[in-house]
């Protein structure tokens, strides 16, 4: 960077920091919450415009939290112990072992040899796999980032690389498979009460309000819109990304490649045992007090002890560590906005501007606001604890029936993680493979997310009321 440009950036940053110090916020918002919001906007702007990379911007955001005296150093760094951030980091490491061992390639080639002959059919098969395991893995990050995405990457590299792909672009076959799997991850999180860690929090809110949102009630409300979304999404994304429909003989190529692998190697068997252990822990670990992050850490240790990966492999994984730091900075800022009243001010202000309207119109307004408000959140759980409860209380006060209100807020929250690359852990991991720019991800996230939102709300108006 030229000195002139560098000093120009410093001047602009200094001006923005001055604004953070002196620009007054709403009277009802603690100044610390207002400063956190301004830092949050600055952080997103710098990343979106690619002024600096995400790691640099993350450190800048944390330093501004300290400089503006929002938090002391020991509290500003506390989110580095946040389990979700570590789960995302470990999922990156597990994916690396899954691929380096060769087991991912073997599974991918086996699947592709029996699934079909086009990228569209492969996308449907992998999406179906996501839906099948979703009820048993209560972490969408662990399920999407640690299980389905590594298989999709291996499958894409084995089938498409060298034939239909020349670079990492959104229109490549691998990118298409990855994004379809990510969207299936969101839809499955909306379909099952047990498919996302934050879903039981919503069920508890409903119970406190007098409505028992059981596993069956949750599923019954979601299965029709989820099925429609499952059918439409791979087709829509195939059209949106303009995937080459002339790719053929995928099954034949995969069968030949699979036979060429020969019998399973020791590394693949070891990885298979580790992977099976991890899957068992993620499915049934909650009964024994084992959370997904603890299980993932132990799996990483097994990968290291068995020499499936080396410490150098993990240390040099730039995408994993950058993602970890980025998520920590965002968790810090979003928690500050909640703790110091900015989010409450936003929702309170919204209620003052709501005109008199019908129940259906009010329901749609609250659900749409809930969905698009996720631009301000780096995790679905933080979204739930910050936005969903106030909107639920607001809707009930304005006369909405509790059943459709709870279901609408629950499903739109789970689906909202696709709007941004940081909106949920599985999305962060998928984006980290480098097939999309931030603007490309946000654009397709808006259109795809809006499409699925429309499907769920249109179906919901007919089913839930």
The answer to whether position 29 is within a domain reads yes
In the numeric block, the tokens 């600096």 are attached to 52
The answer to whether position 411 is within a domain reads no
In this prediction, residues 328-354 reach a mean pLDDT of 80
The answer to whether position 48 is within a domain reads yes
Six-digit token string for 399: 């006369």
Helix (H, G, I), strand (E, B) or coil at 421: coil
> Would you state the pLDDT for residue 413?
95
The answer to whether position 207 is within a domain reads no
**Contact residues for 41 (Cβ-Cβ < 8 A; gap 6+):** none
Percent of the chain with pLDDT over 70: 88
DSSP state of 355: P
> Would you state the pLDDT for residue 399?
82
Six-digit token string for 183: 């969207």
CA dist 140 and 182 (Å) reads 10
Tell me the pLDDT tens digit for each residue of 349-392.
767 777 777 889 999 999 999 999 999 887 787 788 778 888 88
In the numeric block, the tokens 């920590």 are attached to 328
Give the chain's largest Cα–Cα span.
70
Instruction: Identify which has the larger pLDDT, 233 or 296.
Output: 233
> Would you state the pLDDT for residue 312?
93
Answer yes or no: are the C-beta atoms of 433 and 369 closer than 8 Å. no
Backbone angles phi, psi at 200, to 5 degrees: -60, -25
> Would you state the pLDDT for residue 162?
52
The answer to whether position 211 is within a domain reads no
Tell me the pLDDT tens digit for each residue of 133-149.
788 776 788 788 877 88
Domain tally for the chain? 1
The answer to whether position 34 is within a domain reads yes
The answer to whether position 65 is within a domain reads yes
In this prediction, residues 273-284 reach a mean pLDDT of 80
Answer yes or no: are the C-beta atoms of 46 and 52 closer than 8 Å. yes
CA dist 373 and 366 (Å) reads 10
Torsion sign, CA atoms 81, 87, 88, 93: positive
Helix (H, G, I), strand (E, B) or coil at 176: helix
In this prediction, residues 32-50 reach a mean pLDDT of 82
**What is the pLDDT confidence band of residue 117, given thresholds at 50, 70 and 90?**
low
> Would you state the pLDDT for residue 245?
60
Q: Say how many residues make up the chain.
A: 465
Can you give the pTM of this predicted structure? 0.71
The answer to whether position 93 is within a domain reads no
CA dist 263 and 74 (Å) reads 53
Least Cα distance to 442 among 422, 412, 421, 415 occurs for 421
Domain that holds residue 29: 1-76
């Amino acid at each position: 960077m030229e000195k002139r440009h560098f000093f120009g950036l410093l001047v602009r940053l200094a001006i923005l920091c001055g604004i953070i110090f002196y620009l007054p916020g709403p009277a009802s918002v603690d100044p610390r919450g207002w400063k956190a919001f301004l830092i949050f906007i600055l952080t997103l702007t710098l990343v979106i415009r690619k002024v600096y990379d995400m790691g640099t911007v993350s450190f800048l955001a944390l330093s501004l939290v300290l400089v503006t005296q929002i938090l002391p150093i020991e509290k500003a760094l506390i989110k580095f112990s946040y389990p979700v951030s570590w789960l995302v980091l470990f999922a990156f490491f597990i994916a690396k072992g899954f691929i380096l061992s060769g087991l991912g390639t073997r599974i991918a080639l086996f699947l592709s040899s029996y699934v079909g002959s086009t990228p569209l059919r492969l996308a449907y098969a992998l999406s179906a796999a996501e839906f099948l395991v979703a009820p048993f893995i209560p972490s969408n990050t662990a399920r999407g980032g640690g299980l389905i995405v590594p298989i999709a990457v291996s499958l894409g590299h084995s089938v498409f690389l060298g034939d239909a792909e020349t670079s990492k672009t959104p229109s490549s076959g691998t990118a298409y498979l990855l994004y379809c799997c990510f969207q299936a991850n969101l839809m499955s999180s909306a379909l099952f009460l047990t498919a996302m860690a934050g879903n039981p929090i919503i069920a508890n809110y409903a119970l406190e309000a007098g409505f028992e949102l059981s596993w069956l009630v949750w599923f019954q409300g979601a299965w029709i819109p989820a099925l429609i979304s499952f059918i439409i999404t791979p087709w829509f994304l195939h059209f949106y990304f303009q995937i080459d429909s002339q790719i053929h003989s995928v099954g034949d190529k995969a069968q030949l490649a699979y036979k060429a692998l020969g019998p399973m190697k020791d590394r693949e068997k070891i990885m298979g045992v580790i992977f099976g252990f991890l899957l068992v822990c993620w499915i049934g670990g909650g009964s024994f007090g084992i959370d997904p992050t603890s299980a993932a850490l132990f799996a990483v240790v097994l990968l290291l002890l068995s020499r499936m990966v080396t410490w150098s492999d993990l240390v040099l994984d730039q995408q994993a560590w950058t993602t970890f730091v980025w998520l920590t900075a965002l968790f810090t800022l979003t928690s500050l906005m909640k703790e110091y009243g900015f989010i409450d001010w936003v929702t309170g202000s919204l209620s003052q501007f709501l005109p008199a309207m019908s129940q259906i119109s009010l329901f749609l307004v609250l659900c749409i606001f809930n969905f698009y408000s996720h631009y301000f959140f780096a995790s679905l759980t933080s979204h739930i604890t910050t936005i969903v409860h106030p909107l639920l209380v607001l809707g009930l006060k304005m006369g909405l029936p509790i059943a459709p209100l709870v279901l609408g807020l629950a499903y739109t929250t789970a689906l909202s993680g696709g709007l941004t690359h940081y909106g949920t852990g599985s999305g962060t991991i998928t984006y980290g493979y480098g097939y999309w720019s931030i603007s490309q991800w946000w654009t397709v996230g808006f259109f795809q997310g809006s499409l699925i939102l429309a499907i769920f709300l249109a179906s919901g108006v007919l089913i839930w009321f």
